[in-house]
Amino acid sequence: MTIIGTSVRRKEASSKVTGRARYTNDMNVPGTWHALFVPARQAHAKIVGIHTADARKVAGVQTILTAGDLAPLLTGDVTEDRPPLAKDKVRYWGEPVALIVARDESAAQKAASLIKVRYRPLAVVNSIQDALKANAPLVHDNIGSYTVATPPASPRKHSNIADEANMIKGDPDRFLKKCSVRVKVQVSLPQIDHAAIEPRIAKAEILPDGRVLIQASTQSPFEVQKQVAKYFKLNPGQIIVQVPLVGGAFGGKAAIQLELLAYLASRAVGGHTVKLVNTREADMATSPVGMGMEAEVELGATQDGMIQAAQMRFYMDIGAYTDSAPRIARAIAAQCTGPYNIEHLHTDVFSVYTNHTYTTAFRGFGHMPMTFAVERAIDELAKALDQDPLRLREQNALAPGHLTPTKARLTRSNLGHLPLCIEQMRRVIRWNQAAVEPIDAHRVRATGVAAFWKTSSSPPNAISGAITLMNSDGSVNLNIGAVEFGPATKTTAAQILAEQLRIPIDQVFVHEDVNTAVDPEHWKTVASLSTYMVGRAVMDAADDMVRQLKSIAAAILRCSPDDLDYGGEKIFVRDDPTIALRYQDLALGYKYPEGDSIGGQIMGRGRFMIRHLNLLDQQTGHGRPGPAWTVGVQAVEVEYHRITHQYRILKAATVLDAGQVINPKAAAGQVMGGMNMGLGIASREAVHYDAQGQFLSNQFRSYRVMRVGEQAEQYLVEFVETPQVDSPFGARPLGEHGVLAIGAALANALSRAANIPLNVLPLTPEVIWRAKGGKAYGAL
């Protein structure tokens, strides 16, 4: 092995440092028309009337659509509850109410300013508490009539509960009572925004022959193809979705929203090419954000710190529409223990509708807020037991032979090695048993730790594929259906192919874009699954190519394919490598010196389908939710000022079981970036709504993310490698994971430093100050 485990440069690197990397908005066909939606300026209101007459008179305006112009349509990943344009009422501030198509952007904007929407305001469901009150106003009046397109989901009629997922294992009630030590923690996390720097964008065109061309910044090209076909009664084959490089995604571009509007816009103007691009404000307030959460976690343990039982309730602020919430809820339920063995367990996860912006997947698929709740509870348990928090985690760690909450059996292959990670972490951060060290009269230094696990909650029939084509020089083109939005997915696939074909990485050309018309289907580029799924498909394709090379070479060299081996871009006879054919001699078929030719282009076909997964049982939650669980431990060291409650993040560290690191620099970069994002989320990020439900955080001025100088002073990443045997070279997923427990580690560090449980995010100095009593300065 030479290419696996080396830090090869990402394939599109030179394009990205020269400004030549092209994203969706960098490729505009002259003559493209502009679509623009008018966002609701009420959070919950009946639409009394939409006045468009003045807007229609603006020169250049082609058409204006409102829900009344469309056949009734409800969309949704799981429960179909969302109209592409608000119908009868608006359910969140920012919801698209009307859609303008104009010759140019200026005309569209002019028209937008002339559209008058008359509303009759309704009582706003502005929080989870509001939503759950008796006689709460209903975000959806008729939940019972909705189609659950992708079960499971359990909407509760005449309520704001979009879904409820439950998980029961053992006898939690009885065992919790028997525990000598019990802790209970309540956490509260606001909604957050993905804040990819490239705003979402979609373009659509309908050709005279009926084909639909969609170009978009999406993680789900094949899902866009299927949904557009389904909602608009087309054949999937008619729909061609093309995705160039994507400028950051983080789960937010897995949801399908602008693509549907762009299609509707194009259809309304005779199929003309139409572009719909979010402003930053729309990207934050109108397109889906990440869920908020309120949760309660109770743990019971023996005096020596063995966790016996747990009871948990998670309430997710999913906003106005369901999108993928029920799937996230089941992911939370299935992994709700964190990487710990808890025999007796009862967990309920509620997806709660509010008049907030609707939500979708966010890096970690619910594991980040879930981990925050659980890891805060574990740390409080350590405090209650007066035990080393790393030691507590180590002694309760899940191990091969244990069952997960959903009673899936764990093996050395499908579970990473948490105790090894913890052992290594002690060294990495020079573990001091979580002691709080004074620096001077007011400042202290403290370290917090937290552990995570995550599986990839894919559907049980998720597929991937790879098509490889050999060029005349023996180099290989690689086509896969996974989108490149940052994690070097394409490069990893190229590394795997190069390794399998035993050719230099430079001899692999991986197609940067995804095009559903030519690329094999890949479920979605989500869940950190690409290395596993695409990788397996690529290996399959490589095997296919080798078989073809051997078969043709066997004929030419007059031997059995079994006599042949390959390497150095050659096929050769195993016992006499001088009898050989170069790949390039076979790539496009072989021509004998006399001119006769045999074969044809060498082209590989690789497929992969997830196996052995199932939908979790509706009552007990039991089943097998994902192929394997990546584990890791994270630590944060802070310097905290006891008077001002200001703090600096000195160190952030992750030790993760990567199985086998395919590209060390790319892997470390993923994890470091994840930590930075997670620390930003935990320390400052929050979507704010005012009392009327107006979205207040729709710019980077009001939605604060980390900037240079605010990141941890040191990021440390180390890997443990215990292979996942069914994954390419044993590699485990790691793309999302840097984000998962780092916020909990920060809260654990600050809770120790401030000597008070800190369970509310984001952890601004004001939040800590309030937790400490919120007293005036000098009254301390």
Partner 1 sequence: MRSLTRPEEVTLTINNEPREVIIYPGETLLYTLRGDALGLTGAKPGCENGDCGACTVLIDNIPTKSCLMLTVEVEDHSITTVEGLKHAPIQEAFLSQSAFQCGYCTSGFLMVGHALSLQGAADQGRLVEWLRSNICRCTSYQEICDAVQSVVRSEVE
Partner 2 sequence: MAPFNLLYYRPDTVDQALDLFRILSKEQHHPAFYGGGTEILTRVRVQDARFDAVIDLKAIPEVLVHREYQGSAEFGAGLRLTHVANRNLWPLLTATADRVADHTVRSQITLGGNLLSALPYREAILPFLMSDSAEAKVATIGGMRTHRVRDRYDQTFKLKPGDFLVSLVVDGHEIQGLAFKSRKMTRIDWIDYPLVTIALIRRRNGGIRAAFSGWAGFPFVSSRVDKILSNGRRSPSDRAKDAVEHMPMPALSDTHGSRAYREFVTQYTLAGMLEELEEET
Residues forming the site for partner 1 (CB under 8 A) = 7, 9-10, 12-23, 25-26, 28, 30, 195-199, 245-250, 279-280, 485-488, 665-666, 669-670, 672-673, 675-677, 699-701, 705-709, 711-712, 714-715
Could you tell which of partner 2, partner 1, none binds residue 521, using a CB distance below 5 to 8 A set by kind? Answer: none
Rounded to 5 degrees, φ, ψ at 137 are -60, 145
DSSP helix/strand/coil, 103:
coil
Cβ-based burial of 479 (10 A; exposed 0-12, middle 13-18, buried ≥19): buried
Could you tell which of partner 2, partner 1, none binds residue 431, using a CB distance below 5 to 8 A set by kind? Answer: none
Rounded CA separation 461/524 (Å): 12
Quick one: how far is CA 314 from the chain centroid?
A: 19
170 is a site residue for partner 2 (CB under 8 A):
no
* Segment interacting with partner 2 (CB under 8 A) among 170-178, 201-209, 336-344, 767-775: 767-775
760 is a site residue for partner 2 (CB under 8 A):
no
- Closest contact distance (angstroms) between CB of 709 and partner 2 is 6
Residues 503-532 that bind partner 2 (CB under 8 A): none
- Closest contact distance (angstroms) between CB of 741 and partner 2 is 21
DSSP helix/strand/coil, 138:
coil
DSSP 8-state symbol, 561: G
Rounded to 5 degrees, φ, ψ at 65 are -110, 140
Could you tell which of partner 2, partner 1, none binds residue 620, using a CB distance below 5 to 8 A set by kind? Answer: none
- Closest contact distance (angstroms) between CB of 247 and partner 1 is 3
Task: Show Cβ contacts of residue 506 under 8 Å, excluding neighbours closer than 6 positions.
Answer: none
What are the DSSP calls for 141-156, one per residue?
A: TTGGG-EESSS---PP
Interface residue with partner 2, options 707, 714, 725, 750 (CB under 8 A): 707
- Closest contact distance (angstroms) between CB of 188 and partner 2 is 16
Q: Which amino acid is at 404?
A: T
Could you tell which of partner 1, partner 2, none binds residue 141, using a CB distance below 5 to 8 A set by kind? Answer: none
CA distances from 499 to 62, 70, 502 (A): 53, 52, 5
Q: What is the dihedral of CA 266, 267, 269, 272, to 10 degrees?
A: 50
Q: With respect to partner 2, which residue has the nearer C-beta, 72 or 773?
A: 773
Rounded CA separation 551/548 (Å): 5
Q: With respect to partner 1, which residue has the nearer C-beta, 137 or 248?
A: 248
Could you tell which of partner 1, partner 2, none binds residue 96, using a CB distance below 5 to 8 A set by kind? Answer: none
Rounded CA separation 548/50 (Å): 63
**Is the bond into 121 cis (omega within 30 degrees of 0)?**
no
Rounded CA separation 408/404 (Å): 5
- Closest contact distance (angstroms) between CB of 28 and partner 1 is 8
Q: What are the structure tokens assigned to 718, written together? A: 């180390």
DSSP helix/strand/coil, 394:
helix
Contact 493, 480 (CB under 8 A): yes
Over the window 74 to 113, marking each residue x when it contacts partner 2 by CB under 8 A and - when it does not, the resulting string is: ------------------------------xxx--x---x
- Closest contact distance (angstroms) between CB of 697 and partner 2 is 7
Rounded CA separation 104/358 (Å): 29
Q: With respect to partner 2, which residue has the nearer C-beta, 6 or 764?
A: 764
Over the window 638 to 657, marking each residue x when it contacts partner 2 by CB under 8 A and - when it does not, the resulting string is: -----xx-------------
* Segment interacting with partner 2 (CB under 8 A) among 283-291, 527-535, 539-547, 761-769: 761-769
777 is a site residue for partner 2 (CB under 8 A):
yes
Could you tell which of partner 2, partner 1, none binds residue 518, using a CB distance below 5 to 8 A set by kind? Answer: none
- Closest contact distance (angstroms) between CB of 28 and partner 2 is 13
Could you tell which of partner 2, partner 1, none binds residue 766, using a CB distance below 5 to 8 A set by kind? Answer: partner 2
Q: What are the structure tokens assigned to 185, written together? A: 């923690």
Could you tell which of partner 2, partner 1, none binds residue 488, using a CB distance below 5 to 8 A set by kind? Answer: partner 1
Residues 659-698 that bind partner 2 (CB under 8 A): 683-684, 688, 696-697
- Closest contact distance (angstroms) between CB of 40 and partner 2 is 16
- Closest contact distance (angstroms) between CB of 110 and partner 1 is 13
116 is a site residue for partner 2 (CB under 8 A):
no
CA distances from 463 to 112, 221, 358, 520, 607 (A): 42, 14, 28, 9, 8
28 is a site residue for partner 2 (CB under 8 A):
no
CA geometry: angle at 237 spanning 222 and 269, to 5°?
90
Residues 263-282 that bind partner 2 (CB under 8 A): 279, 281
Contact 718, 664 (CB under 8 A): no
Looking up tokens 């120790």, which residue turns up? 752
* Segment interacting with partner 2 (CB under 8 A) among 75-83, 428-436, 517-525, 760-768: 760-768
DSSP E strand stretches across 693-749: 714-720
Q: With respect to partner 2, which residue has the nearer C-beta, 15 or 764?
A: 764
Q: With respect to partner 1, which residue has the nearer C-beta, 19 or 72?
A: 19
Could you tell which of partner 2, partner 1, none binds residue 769, using a CB distance below 5 to 8 A set by kind? Answer: partner 2
User: Would strands 212-216 and 239-243 be described as parallel, antiparallel, or unpaired?
Assistant: parallel
Give the 3-state secondary structure percentages of the chain, helix then strand then coil, rounded to 5. Answer: 30, 30, 45
- Closest contact distance (angstroms) between CB of 632 and partner 1 is 16
Cβ atoms < 10 Å from Cβ of 80:
19
Q: Which amino acid is at 100?
A: I
Q: With respect to partner 2, which residue has the nearer C-beta, 680 or 735?
A: 680
- Closest contact distance (angstroms) between CB of 706 and partner 2 is 8
441 is a site residue for partner 2 (CB under 8 A):
no
Q: Which amino acid is at 338?
A: G
Closest to 527 (Cα-Cα) out of 722, 367, 411: 367
Q: What are the structure tokens assigned to 67, written together? A: 């829900």
Could you tell which of partner 2, partner 1, none binds residue 666, using a CB distance below 5 to 8 A set by kind? Answer: partner 1
DSSP helix/strand/coil, 202:
strand
DSSP 8-state symbol, 528: T
Looking up tokens 């001899």, which residue turns up? 507
Could you tell which of partner 1, partner 2, none binds residue 513, using a CB distance below 5 to 8 A set by kind? Answer: none
Could you tell which of partner 2, partner 1, none binds residue 778, using a CB distance below 5 to 8 A set by kind? Answer: partner 2
Residue ranges binding partner 2 (CB under 8 A): 104-106, 109, 113, 279, 281, 643-644, 683-684, 688, 696-697, 701-702, 704, 707, 709-710, 762, 764-766, 769-770, 774-778
